[in-house]
Structure formats: structure tokens, C-alpha cells
Structure 1
Amino acid sequence: MDLNGVSAVISGGASGLGEATARDLAAHGVKVVIADLNEAKGKALADEIGGVFVKTDVSDEAQVQAAVQAAVDTGAPLRIIVNSAGIGWASRTVNRDGSPHDLASFQKVIQVNLVGTFNLMRIGAAAIAKTEPADADGLRGVVINTASVAALEGQTGQVAYSASKGGIVGMTLPAARDLSAIGVRVNTICPGIIDTPIYGEGEAAEAFKAKLIAPVVFPKRMGKAAEFAHLVRALIENDYMNGEVIRFDGGIRFQPK
């Protein structure tokens, strides 16, 4: 699919993987709507790349509708949805002190990561369906969801996070089958250890990163957000990629801890 002159909604677009994707797509002619809770960073980035910022809680139906409408209002046909908003949580199913995993925290992670992804996918795809086909195959648009290798090899204490990301993986193919009727492709990326600001800075952060890198096969480093963004763009541009879950992890296989 040709990127130039279309619009996109990117959840979590103010930082990390979402920011890198916003920059990459904007550089290739896409009008980007950054849907994020971080107003300061989101507005600054939108101004920098010529995009639009909409403060968005992805689990809120009205806020997601507003973000999608902002893309429609740009006048450029909405053809791209990228779900990269998400939160993490670390807790065992039963903690060392014998207490059970906090239910509210589990529900929050599911609500943001899984329900939020579905929320933007469904509302965004409904808007994409109103556009004219972009090619002879009837393609109207593309949805790229972000899961994690934790969906496939969850570690100790990742039960909530892995459940949420596993749900995204699980809905990839049925969503692709559902949305093919309106000319929308769906693919999911499962990143491994990617170097984003979430890990912090300083000596302690670098030591922690070195530990994370140890099981990576090759290249022996963390992934780059720009490399993730490149993969997003490749999946959008390659018209035969549909219903796939793609590992993006340097060959890492998570161990229990």
C-alpha cells in the first residue's frame, strides 16, 4: 500500500515504539494522529512531524472515537491503525508472602493492553471501511497490533502482561478474517527486548540492560525502536502480509526468570 497522502492513528505514539513509528510514517508522507495520554510529549511530537495530537485513553470508547475522527478530519483517507499503547505489571499469581495476585491490577493490564487494542482496531477499521479501495484488490487499510514475546514465553511474575499480550496474538487471525470482508489487513508484531526510555538511564539501567541482552542470539544487543518502526512500515507496504504474528526479537527465547 502506498503510504504517501494517507492518514494513520498511532496509539502510544508519544514515546518509545509508537514515537519511532510516528516519525517513520510521517517521513514517508503519512498524516499521523498521535493518540496518547502524555499531552506534553504528544503535542511536541505532533508539531514536529506535522501531525495531530489527541489525548486518548485507549480503553475509553469516546476518546478513541475522537482520535479516529481526527484522522478522518485531516482530509487524508484513514488507512493505517497502529496499536502500540500498553502498560506492564509484575506480580506472581500467588506472591511469596502467600497473598494472591491483586485482581484490580490484573484487570487494569487487560483493560489497557487487550481491550484497548481491540477498541482502536474495531473503531479504526469501521472508519477505514468508509474509504474507497486503494487498489485493484480492494485493499482499504492495515491494522498493526503490538504484542510481545512474553505472549509466547511469559516469565515468572508476568501473568497479567502475558495474558494481555497473548490475547492480542490470539485475536490476530480471526480479526484478519473478519476484516478481510472490508479490505483491511491485520498483523501483529511480538517485540523482544527493545531499547526504549522505559529502562531509564545511568549505571544501574545499563547493568540491567546487559542482563537482558544475554539471551539474545544475534545481533547481541537490544532492538532499536527505529527497527520496529521499519518493520511496521514494511508490513503496511507489503500487500500479501495478512493474519500473521511476527517475532521481532534477535532470536531470544525467554527463560522462566
Structure 2
Amino acid sequence: MDITGKKAIVVGGASGMGRATAEALAAQGAIVAVLDREGSAGKDVATAIGGTFYPIDITDFEGAEETLAAAVTELGGLHIAVNTAGGGTVKKTLSRGKPHDLETFRNVVDLNLISTFNLNRLQAFHMSQNEPEDSERGVIINTSSIAAFEGQIGQVAYTASKAGIAAMALVMARDLGPQGIRVLAIAPSLFSTGATAAFTDEQVAPLVEDAAFPKRMGRPEEYAKLAVAIVDNQMLNGQCLRLDAGQRFAPR
């Protein structure tokens, strides 16, 4: 898909990989709406790239639907959707003889998996209204994690949610193929974002020692480069792409 002039939404676009992607899409000529939490830097990011900002709570499923509809209406359509918002927690299935509480598991799955599907189903609907260009109406990119494949101890909820995102890519691509909509996921390893900004080199080194090369955290712009390449290359579809320097997470 030619990015120039296309309408794009980046959920989680106020920081990290989402921000880098919003900036990269705008640099390629897309008209971008940044969706992120109230009180985030989303408005500043949107202003800097000539876009618009919409506050969103992705776990408020009805509210997210209304926010997405408002953003698409102002954009005048939707061709590209990148979803990077999410998070997790660390809890073992059994810890000190007590079972993992169900509420935390549900909250993580809601935050990562259910909210992603909720956004996807709505994004796909809006894309389906487009006139096709080279038979294509839209591209959806979700954010999984290499924890989806090699989850570490204590990541049972996070791994389950990110594995669900990875697994959805092919099925959803098959569902939406007749509408000319592609669906992919990106599975990053440890990336340098707000959550890891305070890490020292000494703290980072053991976390990336299993990487083949380079032995460092990923950079947000590297995620953005892959997202842009996905949009550009129509033959990329229905899969989860690892972005991990050859890293495989150890058990802990």
C-alpha cells in the first residue's frame, strides 16, 4: 500500500514503539491520528506530526468504539491501524502455595487480547468502507511479544494474551481477505521504551545475553521501520513477525 495520503490510526501512539510508528507513517505522507491515555504525551506527539489526538481507555470497550469512530470520521476514513497499547504483570501460577488470582489474569487478557480484538473488529469495519487500491482496502498491525512463544516464569497471563494476538493474525487475515484487508502482528523482544528508560547498561546486559546479535534492547524506530515495511509490502499477511535479534527468552 502506498502510504502517501492514507489515513492511519496508532493506538498507543504517545510513546515508545507507537510514537515512533506514528512519526514514521507521518514522514511517509500518512495522515495520522494518535490514540492514547488521557494525560499522556499524545497531544504533543500528534501536534508535532500534524495529526490529531484522541484520549482512549482501551479496556473501556464501548468507549473505545466511540473514540475510534470519532477519529475515523475526522480522518475521513481508515487505511492503516497499528495497535501497540498493552501491558502485563508478573505472577506465577502457584506462588508460596497460593494460586494465581483470576482477576489479575482476566485484567491482563482484557488489556492485551480482548482490547486488541475489539479494536481490530472495528478497524476492519471502517476499512471495509474504502474503495480498493490495487484490490487492497487496509492493513492492521498488532503487537505481540516473543513471550508469546517463550514465556518466562511468572508471565503466564502476559504470555497467554500475547500468544492470542499472534494466533489471531492468520485467522483474521483469512476472515478479511475477501475485503482486501491484511492483518499481521509484530513480536518484539525487550525494547527501549518508557518502562525500561531507567535501566543501566549493567541491568540491560543480562536481559539481552541470549540475543544472537545485536546484544542490546531494540529501538522504537526499528519497530516503526518494520511496521512501515509491512504496510508497503502487500505480500506480507497473516503472520506474526519476530523482531528480536535472534533472542529466545530463557525460563527466567
The TM-score range, normalised by the shorter chain, is over 0.9
| Count of aligned positions | 252
Picking from 238, 245, 248, the partner of 2:243 is 248
8 Å Cα contact 1:199-1:205 kept in structure 2? no
Matched, 1:233 2:228: yes
Could you tell me which runs of 5 or more consecutive residues in structure 2 were left unpaired when the two chains were aligned.
Answer: none
Picking from 196, 203, 209, the partner of 1:214 is 209
Which secondary structure does the structure 2 equivalent of 1:195 belong to? coil
Which secondary structure does the structure 1 equivalent of 2:241 belong to? strand
CA RMSD for the aligned pairs? 1.4
Q: Write out the 4+ residue segments of structure 1 that deviate beyond 4 Å after TM superposition.
A: none
TM-score, L = length of structure 1: 0.94
8 Å Cα contact 1:35-1:54 kept in structure 2? yes
Could you tell me which runs of 5 or more consecutive residues in structure 1 were left unpaired when the two chains were aligned.
Answer: none
Cα distance in 1 for partners of 2:105, 2:49 equals 36
The CA deviation string for residues 31-52 of structure 1, in whole angstroms up to 9 with x for no partner, is 1111111434111111111111
Cα distance in 1 for partners of 2:77, 2:175 equals 21
Q: Which range moves more in the overlay, 54-63 or 159-168?
A: 54-63
- The Cα of 1:197 is off from its aligned counterpart by 1.8
One-letter amino acid matched to 1:26? A
**Counterpart residue number, 1:107:** 106
Cα distance in 2 for partners of 1:175, 1:83 equals 15
- The Cα of 1:104 is off from its aligned counterpart by 1.1
- The Cα of 1:73 is off from its aligned counterpart by 2.5
Which secondary structure does the structure 2 equivalent of 1:64 belong to? helix
One-letter amino acid matched to 1:186? V
Cα distance in 2 for partners of 1:238, 1:70 equals 29
Q: Which range moves more in the overlay, 162-171 or 212-221?
A: 212-221
**Counterpart residue number, 1:69:** 69
**Counterpart residue number, 2:46:** 46
Where in structure 2 are the equivalents of 1:1-257 lying within 5 Å?
1-95=1-95, 97-135=96-134, 138-201=135-198, 205-257=200-252
One-letter amino acid matched to 1:168? I
8 Å Cα contact 1:175-1:186 kept in structure 2? yes
- The Cα of 1:221 is off from its aligned counterpart by 1.5
- The Cα of 1:76 is off from its aligned counterpart by 4.4
Identity of aligned residues (%): 44
TM-score, L = length of structure 2: 0.96
Which secondary structure does the structure 1 equivalent of 2:182 belong to? strand
